[in-house]
Structure 1
Amino acid sequence: MSRTLTMAGLALALLALPTMGDAQTAPVAAGSGAVSYGADSGEYTPAGFALRGRAEVVQGQNRLRADTINGMVADGDLRRVEASGNVYFVTPDQTIRGDRAVYTLASDEVVMSGDVILTQGQNILTGGRLVYNTRTETAQMEGASNGRIRGVFYPENGGN
Structure 2
Amino acid sequence: MTVISRIAAATTLALFLIAGSAHAQGASVAFGGLKHDASQPVEITADELTVDQATGSAVFTGNVVAGQGEMRLSAGRVQVQYATENGQATGRIDQLVATGNVTLVNGAEAAEAEKAVYSVGGSQIVMTGNVILTQGINALSGEKLTVDLTSGSGRMEGRVRTIFQTGGNK
Given the alignment of the two structures, is residue 140 of structure 1 paired with residue 161 of structure 2, yes or no? Answer: no
User: Structure 1, residues 57-82: CA drift from partner, whole Å, max 9, x if none?
Assistant: 11222100000011111231211110
Unaligned stretches of 5+ residues in structure 2: 1-30, 85-89
Structure 1 residues not aligned, in runs of 5+ = 1-21
Q: Distance between the aligned counterparts of 2:44 and 2:100, measured in 1?
A: 17
57, 60, 66: which one pairs with 1:48?
57
**Alignment-derived partner of residue 80 in structure 1:** 95
Report the aligned-residue RMSD. 2.4
In percent, how many aligned pairs have the same letter? 30
5 Å matches for 1:109-124?
A: 109-124=124-139
Q: Deviations over 1:82-119 (max 9, x none)?
A: 00010011001200100001111232211100000000
- In 1: Cα distance, 2:44 partner to 2:157 partner: 31
- Counterpart position of 2:161: 150
Residue 131 of structure 1: aligned partner: 146
Equivalent residue number for residue 60 of structure 1: 69
State TM-score, norm by structure 2. Answer: 0.69
Larger relative contact order, structure 1 or 2 (CA cutoff 8 Å, min sep 6): 2
Shift of 1:135: 0.8
**Which has more helix, going by share of residues?**
2
Aligned length: 132
- Structure 1 residues 107, 97: closer, same or farther in 2, change over 3 A? same
Give the structure-1-normalised TM-score: 0.72
